[in-house]
Amino acid sequence: MPTCGRRRVRYTVSMLRRRFLKMLAGSALVAAASPVEGSSGKRGKLRRVETSDLGVTLFFALQNAPFPYPGKPYTDDTVAVFVPAAYRAPRGGLLDVVVHFHGHNGTVASTLAGMHLREQFVAGRQNAALILPQGPVNAADGNPGKLGVAGGLERLLAEVRHELQSADARAALGASAVSPSARIGSVILSAHSGGYRPAACSVSKGGFEVREVYLFDALYGERQAFREWVLAGKAATRGGRHKLISTYTAGGGTLEENRALQAELQQNGVRVLHHEEPGALTPAQLAHGNAIFVRTSVAHGDAIWKDDALSTCLSASCLAHVAGSDTSS
């Protein structure tokens, strides 16, 4: 990403990207949706496929999904994986992923649609896959389920990779198919609201290196887990650095936790960027910062999608962009 010096740019994406998102949102989301039977005729882990101009969304039923989990009433084992139409398997054989944890009272379907995740992912221009595990279904509960057990993230990612490499998934993805020899590459976590709990468990004991974390009005607790994760990558080069972006609202209940984490990181020598209002971050700051805190005026429920918040973070991420894309604006 080119250096922008002292030039100020809005934290939100450019007006051109806004028009792009509106255009995508206006297109028919599902060109085809169908249940899937395995090549043997038996019902496999791939339960349903949705295709559109944006890409392909595969709905799996996975053993290492957060639920079912002992002692909890939730039984939905859905894990959705969205692969953009522009995705092409890289020569290096690595599959980069973004894992998003939805908030309270949500489902995979309502989050994909209501938070415009696919549209934002496409606008961010990442050559990666978006993974959305089902948490507690329509409940005011952020329990991480199996992701709260040591190695939970690693097992989930390994199963997702394996299923994406199946014959049925590769056939559904076509030109965007994942390489049969792919390994998981860079991992980014995104969380909205109560999704902070599985995100915290994933960085503290998930068993897989996480490069970046985006919290969208989500820092209600687990401050120590996020602090220690940032500090663990403080001295690393950009290739191994841990980057945190935390946006918070005035009335969402996360303001004090954000202020406390900011102070703790500064005391430990982390260079912190803090903006009381969006609008002052340069692309270089967003790309190279270690810990970025942004207060936003949007409503709590809109924190991840209003002003294209997720696509803005992704456009400055460590992930490779799709071929021919320009994310410098």
Judged against a pLDDT cut of 80, whether residue 19 lies above it is answered with: no
Rounded to an integer, the average pLDDT of 138-156 is 97
CB atoms within 10 A of CB 311: 26
pTM of the predicted protein model: 0.87
pLDDT tens for residues 290-311? 999 999 888 888 888 887 889 9
Per DSSP, helices labelled H in 35-136 are: 108-114, 117-124
C-alpha span between 315 and 310 (Å, rounded)? 9
- Banded pLDDT at 47 (limits 50, 70, 90): very high
Rounded to an integer, the average pLDDT of 201-228 is 97
Looking at residue 140, its amino acid is A
Q: What number does CATH give the domain 15-315?
A: 3.40.50.1820
Average pLDDT of every residue of the chain: 86
Judged against a pLDDT cut of 60, whether residue 38 lies above it is answered with: no
Judged against a pLDDT cut of 80, whether residue 22 lies above it is answered with: no
SS3 call for 1: coil
Mention every residue, 6+ apart, whose C-beta is less than 8 A from residue 168: 36, 38, 39, 44, 46
Q: What is the three-state SS of 17-59?
A: HHHHHHHHHHCCCCCEEEECCCCCCCCCCEEEEEECCCEEEEE
Q: Residue 122: CA atoms inside 13 Å, Cβ hemisphere, count?
A: 24
Q: Residue 18: CA atoms inside 13 Å, Cβ hemisphere, count?
A: 8
Residue with tokens 């959705």, as numbered in its chain: 80
Judged against a pLDDT cut of 60, whether residue 7 lies above it is answered with: no
C-alpha span between 158 and 97 (Å, rounded)? 12
What ranges do the domains of the chain cover?
15-315
pLDDT tens for residues 156-210? 999 999 999 999 999 999 999 999 999 999 999 999 999 999 999 999 999 999 9
Rounded to an integer, the average pLDDT of 48-61 is 97
Looking at residue 33, its amino acid is A
Judged against a pLDDT cut of 50, whether residue 2 lies above it is answered with: no
- Banded pLDDT at 282 (limits 50, 70, 90): confident
Question: Residue 248's pLDDT is what?
Answer: 93
CB atoms within 10 A of CB 74: 19
